[in-house]
Copies of this chain bind each other. A is one copy, B any other.
Amino acid sequence: MAFDAIETPFGKSDRIIGGAATYIAWSASNFTKPIYQISVVGGDFPQSELDALTARGVRLEGVQIKKDEKSFFWSGKYHLDMNSRDTLDTQLNVLADFTPVVPDSYQDAEFLMLGNLLPSVQLSVIEQIKRRPKLVVMDTMNFWMDTAMDDLKKVLQKVDVLLVNDSEARQLSGQHSLVKAAKEIIKMGPKFLIIKKGEHGALLFNGNEVFFAPALPLEDVFDPTGAGDTFAGGFIGHIAKTRDISFQNMKTAIIVGSAMASYCVEKFGTGRLVEITKQDIDERIRQFVELVNFDITLT
């Protein structure tokens, strides 16, 4: 839970609410509640934002508020193609020495979504939960592969599903072919691997099975910030709602995550996520069904 300031070819935001856990919570809370949030913010984080999350069924006992410190801040500028960006500023602030504490009231959690953060912080959360969740999903990024690979590999051994993008899958595995990359990564621990390819959709691997979910072709991507987190939130939200961790249901969860991500990019920050309804989500899921539906009769 953090602040971002974002520049895209379409405009420039002020300091707005961001952070992986924020996007995940807004997205997942469409499908399941309560959500047990774990994070850290400074005294500058608006109470109104915390209240809005509470109203969505997001529990905040696990969110540390460090009154005399500042929230994490990131500022970046997207290139014209929206696929790459430059970081303009990163201020760790409260994240510099974040030690997550899992409250007792969270111990009955059945599904654990580890947002993108220091692998040692992710590991600490896993270790504090006494009864292993039915499903542990982990998001990460290239930065941790560059700076904390040993810790990252430890976490990989404890998770069921890993979420990375295509270049991260290549970096982590040392393989260019995503099929080969998936085989290598699955050897590192997670039984399921989701490779996100942005506007090119996402792949789900499990053993020799593979599923492909497209991204919805959009006229404009206004701001891609948080799309991956929103995808993760939709994914874990659907799994938690259905309590079904089969490969077949994960396919559906990926479509749900993709639908949520397609809304996220329509406005700056969480602007679109906070206003969409169940009807909007159903409508978009229908578009995904239409997008990939075809008939074939083998004669």
A-to-B contact residues, CB < 8 Å: 80-81, 176-180, 197, 200-201, 203, 209-214, 217-221, 248, 251-252, 254-256, 282, 285-286, 289-296, 298
Contact, CB under 8 Å: A219 / B295 = no
Assembled-state Cα–Cα distance A218/B177 (Å): 7
- Residues of the B chain whose Cβ atoms lie less than 8 Å from the Cβ of A200: 197, 200-201
Contact, CB under 8 Å: B177 / A201 = no
- Residues of the B chain whose Cβ atoms lie less than 8 Å from the Cβ of A180: 219
Contact, CB under 8 Å: A295 / B179 = no
Contact, CB under 8 Å: B214 / A294 = no
- Residues of the B chain whose Cβ atoms lie less than 8 Å from the Cβ of A220: 177
Contact, CB under 8 Å: B80 / A294 = no
Main secondary structure of the interface of A (DSSP, over half): mixed
* Listed A/B pairs (8) with beta-carbon separation below 8 Å: A179-B217, A197-B200, A200-B200, A200-B201, A210-B291, A213-B294, A214-B214, A292-B292
Contact, CB under 8 Å: B217 / A214 = no
Assembled-state Cα–Cα distance A212/B214 (Å): 7
Partner of A179, one of B214, B218, B285: B218
Assembled-state Cα–Cα distance A210/B290 (Å): 8
Question: Which 8 A-B pairs have CB atoms at the shortest separation, nearest pair first?
Answer: A200-B200, A251-B294, A212-B214, A179-B219, A292-B292, A282-B298, A212-B291, A179-B217
Known: A180-B219, A209-B290, A251-B294. 19 other contacts (CB 8 A): A177-B219, A177-B220, A179-B217, A197-B200, A200-B201, A201-B212, A210-B217, A210-B291, A211-B293, A212-B214, A212-B292, A213-B292, A214-B292, A248-B295, A252-B294, A255-B296, A256-B296, A282-B298, A292-B292
Name which of A180, A252, A298 has the most chain B CB atoms within 10 A of its CB: A298
Contact, CB under 8 Å: A217 / B203 = yes
